[in-house]
Amino acid sequence: MSDAYLKFSNSKFGKPLFSALGLAIPPLLTRYRRGDSLVKESVVINVEDNLALFKACFMESKFELAGDSHEKTDALIFDATNIASPEMLNQCHAFFSQQLSRLSSNGKILIVGLVITSTMPILQAASQRALTGIVKSIAKEVGRKGCTANLIYTSALTSASLGATSRFLLSNKSAYVSGQVLSASGGEFTLKQWSKPLQGKTALVTGASRGIGAAIAQALAADGANVIGLDIPQAKDALEQQMATINGQSIILNITDEDAGAKISQAIKTPLDIVVHNAGITRDKTLKRMSSEQWQSVIDINLMSVARINEYFFANRCLSAHARIVCVSSISGIAGNVGQVNYAASKSGIIGLVEATARKLTVNNSQITINAVAPGFIETAMTAKIPLLTRHFGRRMCALSQGGLPVDVAQAIVFFCAPNAQNVSGNTLRVCGQNLIGA
C-alpha cells in the first residue's frame, strides 16, 4: 500500500506547503540495493584506543577521529566501553553535541558498551545501562533526517563479536531499525566473506507465499541460500510462483500438524542451516467477544507450532552444527494491542521461547543460535486493510514517521542468519522505525 502522505510531503509542491503549515515531513529512507556498498563510506569515531578493531570490521570505510571538522559524515561510532562512572557519561555529551550536526541524511549512529554482569561495580553497571536511554533519545532526535541510532552491548571487544552486528547497523540494510539494543557475546569465530555469506546454505521459511515471508525468501536467496518455502495448501499456487523466481523448493503443509517436523524433515532430507518461523495469523476481537476457537487457532499457529517443530528438529538432528533459527514476533508482543490479546500472547511467547532456547543452547555449548525480530507497522496486504485514519497514525507513530517495508524485516533476519553472527543469540530485534509504543 502506497503512503500518499509520505510521497506528497516530499514532492516539489508538497514540501513547501507542509513546511509552511508546520506539518511533519517524513524522511525518504535509503534502503540497500544489490550492488550498493555494504557499509557507510565515511565514519567518525570518538577515541583512538580501539580504532584498529573497528577498521578491521569496516575495511571499506574511511575512518576519522572526532575533531573540529564540520564536513559531513555518513556514520558516527561512540565507543563507550571505557565508561565506568556517571561522571564519565559527559563523554557522550561532548562527542554527540559536537558531531551530530555533521551527520548526513540517512546517516548511522552506533554506540558500543559492555554487557552488564553481576560482578560489575554498581556505578559502572548504572553508567553502562544509561547508554540505553542515550541511544533511544538520540534516535528520536535524528529520525527526522532518516538517521538511525543503535547500541551494541558486547562481552568482548573483538572483531569476531562485533563484526556482523556493527556492519548491519551501519549499513542501509538497517534503514528501519533504530533505537534498538543488541547483545553480542565473545568468541573466536570470524569470516571475511561479506558478499553472499549464505552461499551453499539451506534455508526453510514458513509462510513464504506472500508479504514478509516472500521478502525473507528473496533476501536469503540474494545472499546465496538455497531456499525452501513452506505454506498451507490454500497458498500452493502463490508459493510455487514465489519459489520459481528464486529457484527455490516448495513444501505444502499445515504447520499445526502434530507430525509437521517429521514431514518437513522427510521432504528436505538434509540438515537445515537456517530456519525462519514466519508463518502466523491474526483473529482479532476484544477478549470478551473472542471465541475459544479464535484464541486457540492463533496460539497453535503462532506459538505452539514453532515450539513443536523446534523440538523435533533438535531431537532428531535436523539442524546443522552452526544452524540459525529466527522467529518472527511482533511489537504487539512487546506493547500489547486492543483486540489482540491472543496475538500478543503468542508473539510475547515467541520472545520467551527464544530467550529460553538460547540459554539452553549456551549451557549445552551448542553453536546453534536463535533470535527473533519484532516488526512494527509494515506495509503489507494485511495492514492495507486497516482503516485509513488508523493506518495514517500507525505510520507516523515512530521516530522515522512512516511504515516499514517487508524487505526491512527480511534484512534483519538475514543478518541473524549470517555465519558472521555466530556470537548473537537470544535477542529480539524490533524492526519498527523506533515505534513510540512500547519503546
Catalytic residues: 343
Instruction: Give the integer Cα–Cα distance in Å for 23 and 352.
Output: 40
Residue listed under C-alpha cell 559524515: 73
The Cβ of residue 374 has, within 10 Å, a number of other Cβ atoms equal to 27
Give Cα 282 distance to the centre of its chain: 21
| Three cell numbers, residue 406 | 517487508
The Cβ of residue 253 has, within 10 Å, a number of other Cβ atoms equal to 18
Do residues 170 and 78 touch, judged by C-beta distance below 8 A? Answer: no
Give Cα 129 distance to the centre of its chain: 21
Q: Three-state SS string across the chain, please? A: CCCHHHHHHCCCCHHHHHHHHCCCCCCCCCCCCCCCCCCCCEEEECCCCCHHHHHHHCCCCEEEECCCCCCCEEEEEEECCCCCCHHHHHHHHHHHHHHHHHEEEEEEEEEEEECCCCCCCHHHHHHHHHHHHHHHHHHHHHHHHCCEEEEEEECCCCHHHHHHHHHHHCCHHHCCCCCCEEEECCCCCCCCCCCCCCCCCEEEEECCCCHHHHHHHHHHHHCCCEEEEEECHHHHHHHHHHHHHCCCEEEECCCCCCCHHHHHHHHHCCCEEEEEECCCCCCCCCHHHCCHHHHHHHHHHHHHHHHHHHHHHHHCCCEEEEEEEEEECCCHHHHCCCCCHHHHHHHHHHHHHHHHHHHHHHHCCCCCEEEEEEECCECCCCHHHCCHHHHHHHHHCECCCCCECHHHHHHHHHHHHCHHHCCCCCCEEEECCCECCCC
Q: What pairs with residue 230 in β-bridges?
A: 206, 251
